[in-house]
């Protein structure tokens, strides 16, 4: 099994990356000139600055939302929590269509705004995990020190690993994104440019493979460093995600903690009703602003599409593209579900060094700009030595492999987090029964893996549906709905573009809602409390 998983990860990620970088060997002199050029390092600085600004802006928005969602239980918090995935569903360049009509977005800060508006839920979702895991110690600290001191000295430090993981993932997505900066640079005489755009421009010229490969090297380096930090954080805090520290719902503090809080005479006096009500009003106002930020792009698109007389004919013309997009999404999700869960399970069984190497192999493609990975897929599968080159070049499976390979890391990390929380008791008890491994797998192991399978499948489908970087490079991408929208975004009417955008959003949201309502493992509406 180990060999099969390693070979599959190499085919999906390592080999395409090496194929994209193989241009360095063709013209090493040209590659060195580009790599040492001042423009390359200026673009690297702009790219890193974009990632850092987006990560910190996402934290400023996501951390307060996560903290409030972990403490409050009311209708407003429930609405915000339910809509948290919506910015991730809506591709940032599609959200840019709406925001560009409401705000004057341009250059560096325009890109920061659009990327933050799309990616901040990553910090909120991971931060929510951290704040929930910190409930028990925080309740005791709040009684002894007071709310603000407990937050700064106990709650925030306990949740900071999850928050930092979310910020690092936002950083990686921001520096490898091509679509947002390309969208903002249209009809701009002096556009803001990052390394992903430079890679695309150089790869589009067939004679400059060495230059494109040279530009790709500095683009990979900061993302690899960020993902290595994510991997280190997740490994060091694996015990916390298993719930070993115990969690408690708000207001559920153990008797020992309560006694320890009051014996020392350090319990703070309760706040007055006026101060508490003022704080709750400010919190509710902030949540309403966040809710408006989440819903504004969709509402704007809906206002354009609602009066469009040719909406049904436009959707009918895009039917083939929608079908191909759904099939590619399902293919990507299936590959991520099978390989992602197998990789996650294997990484939990291996030793520390082997596990780290396996996870690093899965994380590598996510550190690679999507444009570069797609070109690597073409160079790998369209090689003259491949007898199936003509068939593979225009096949939708090439798009499936590119999207699944790029986002495999998220499926592995999500599956690993779920599998790490499993109790080994049922599996150990099944071995003692003396039944065959097939019976044990069907009755015990497979049901326990289904939540991880369902979550990886949902992640793969979502990320493939919103992917644009690989779509604009691979030939099969021209037949997808995302490519159709991107080709019309600057030339078609707002009503037509909005109709197609809402169609793309519906293809993601409706299956997700159906899966939750049907109780599909991994995406159902199960309880959120960890083990106590």
**What residue ranges define each of the domains in the chain, with the CATH number in brackets?**
1-25+308-532 (1.10.3720.10), 37-247+279-296 (1.10.3720.10)
Given this model, what pLDDT does residue 47 score? Answer: 94
Is the confidence at residue 20, as pLDDT, over 80?
A: yes
Across residues 453-462, what is the average pLDDT? Answer: 88
Q: Which of 30-34, 40-44, 305-309, 517-521 has the lowest mean pLDDT?
A: 517-521
Confidence tier at 444 by pLDDT (50, 70, 90): low
Confidence tier at 250 by pLDDT (50, 70, 90): very low
pLDDT single digits (tens) 131-153: 877 665 555 455 455 556 666 66
pLDDT single digits (tens) 205-218: 654 677 878 888 88
User: Closest Cα to residue 130, out of 154, 110, 95, 105?
Assistant: 154
Given this model, what pLDDT does residue 48 score? Answer: 95
Is the confidence at residue 162, as pLDDT, over 80?
A: yes
Given this model, what pLDDT does residue 170 score? Answer: 94
Is the confidence at residue 260, as pLDDT, over 80?
A: no
Q: If you average pLDDT over every residue of the chain, what do you get?
A: 79
Q: Which two tokens stand for residue 318?
A: 């895009």
Across residues 465-473, what is the average pLDDT? Answer: 88
Percent of the chain clearing pLDDT 90 (strictly above): 21
Across residues 318-329, what is the average pLDDT? Answer: 92
Across residues 298-323, what is the average pLDDT? Answer: 89
Is the confidence at residue 465, as pLDDT, over 60?
A: yes
User: Closest Cα to residue 216, out of 53, 93, 43, 384?
Assistant: 43
Give how far the C-alpha of residue 488 lies from the chain's centroid of Cα atoms, to the nearest Å: 26
Percent of the chain clearing pLDDT 70 (strictly above): 79
Confidence tier at 266 by pLDDT (50, 70, 90): very low
Beta strands in 111-197 (DSSP E): none
Given this model, what pLDDT does residue 521 score? Answer: 63
Contacts of 101 (CB under 8 A, 6+ apart): 300, 494
Contact call for residues 500 and 304 (beta carbons, < 8 A): no
Q: Is 474 left (phi over 0), alpha (psi -120 to 50) or beta?
A: beta
Confidence tier at 238 by pLDDT (50, 70, 90): low
211 vs 56, which has greater pLDDT? 56
**CB-facing half-sphere around the CA of 517: CA atoms within 13 A:** 6
Across residues 248-270, what is the average pLDDT? Answer: 37
Is the confidence at residue 254, as pLDDT, over 70?
A: no
Give the dihedral sign, CA 515/520/526/531.
Answer: negative
Across residues 467-474, what is the average pLDDT? Answer: 88
* CA pair distance 520, 450, nearest whole angstrom: 9
Is 0.95 topped by the overall pTM? no
Given this model, what pLDDT does residue 115 score? Answer: 94
* CA pair distance 362, 458, nearest whole angstrom: 18
């Amino acid at each position: 099994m180990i060999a099969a998983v390693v070979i599959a990860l190499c085919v999906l990620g390592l080999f395409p990356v090496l194929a994209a970088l193989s241009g360095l060997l063709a013209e090493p002199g040209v590659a060195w000139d580009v790599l040492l050029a001042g423009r390359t390092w200026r673009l690297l600085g702009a790219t890193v600055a974009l990632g850092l600004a987006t990560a910190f802006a996402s934290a400023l928005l996501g951390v307060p939302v996560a903290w409030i969602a972990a403490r409050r239980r009311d209708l407003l918090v429930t609405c915000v929590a339910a809509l948290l995935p919506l910015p991730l569903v809506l591709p940032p360049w599609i959200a840019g269509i709406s925001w560009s009509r409401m705000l004057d977005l341009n250059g560096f800060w325009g890109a920061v705004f659009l990327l933050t508006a799309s990616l901040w839920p990553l910090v909120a979702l991971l931060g929510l995990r951290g704040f929930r895991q910190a409930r028990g110690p925080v309740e005791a600290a709040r009684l002894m020190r007071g709310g603000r001191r407990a937050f700064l000295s106990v709650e925030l430090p306990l949740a900071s690993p999850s928050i930092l993981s979310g910020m690092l993932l936002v950083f990686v997505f921001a520096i490898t994104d091509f679509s947002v900066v390309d969208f903002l640079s249209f009809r701009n005489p002096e556009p803001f440019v990052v390394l992903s755009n430079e890679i695309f421009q150089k790869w589009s010229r067939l004679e400059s493979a060495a230059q494109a490969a040279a530009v790709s090297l500095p683009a990979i380096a900061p993302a690899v460093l960020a993902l290595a930090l994510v991997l280190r954080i997740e490994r060091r805090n694996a015990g916390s995600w298993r719930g070993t520290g115990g969690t408690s719902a708000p207001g559920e503090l153990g008797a020992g903690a309560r006694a320890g809080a009051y014996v020392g005479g350090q319990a703070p006096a309760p706040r007055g009703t006026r101060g508490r009500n003022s704080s709750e009003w400010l919190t509710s106002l902030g949540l309403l602003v966040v809710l408006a930020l989440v819903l504004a792009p969709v509402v704007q698109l809906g206002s354009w599409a609602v009066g469009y007389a040719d909406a049904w004919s436009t959707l009918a013309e895009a039917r083939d593209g929608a079908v191909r997009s759904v099939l590619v999404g399902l293919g990507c999700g299936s590959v991520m579900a099978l390989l992602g869960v197998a990789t996650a399970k294997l990484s939990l069984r291996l030793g520390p060094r082997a596990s780290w190497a396996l996870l690093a192999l899965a994380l590598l493609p996510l550190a690679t700009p999507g444009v570069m990975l797609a070109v690597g897929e073409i160079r790998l599968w369209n090689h003259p030595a491949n007898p199936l080159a003509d068939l593979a070049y225009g096949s939708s499976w090439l798009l499936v492999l590119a999207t699944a390979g790029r986002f495999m890391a998220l499926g592995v990390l999500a599956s690993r987090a779920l599998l790490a929380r499993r109790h080994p008791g049922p599996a150990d008890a099944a071995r003692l029964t003396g039944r065959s491994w097939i019976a044990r797998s069907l009755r015990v192991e497979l049901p326990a893996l289904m939540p991880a399978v369902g979550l990886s499948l949902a992640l793969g489908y979502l990320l493939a549906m919103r992917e644009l970087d690989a779509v604009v490079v691979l030939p099969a991408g021209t037949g997808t709905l995302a490519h159709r929208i991107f080709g019309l975004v600057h030339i078609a009417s707002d009503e037509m573009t909005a109709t197609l955008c809402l169609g793309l959003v519906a293809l993601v949201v409706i299956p997700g809602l159906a899966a939750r309502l049907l109780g599909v493992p991994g995406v159902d509406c199960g309880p959120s409390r960890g083990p106590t």
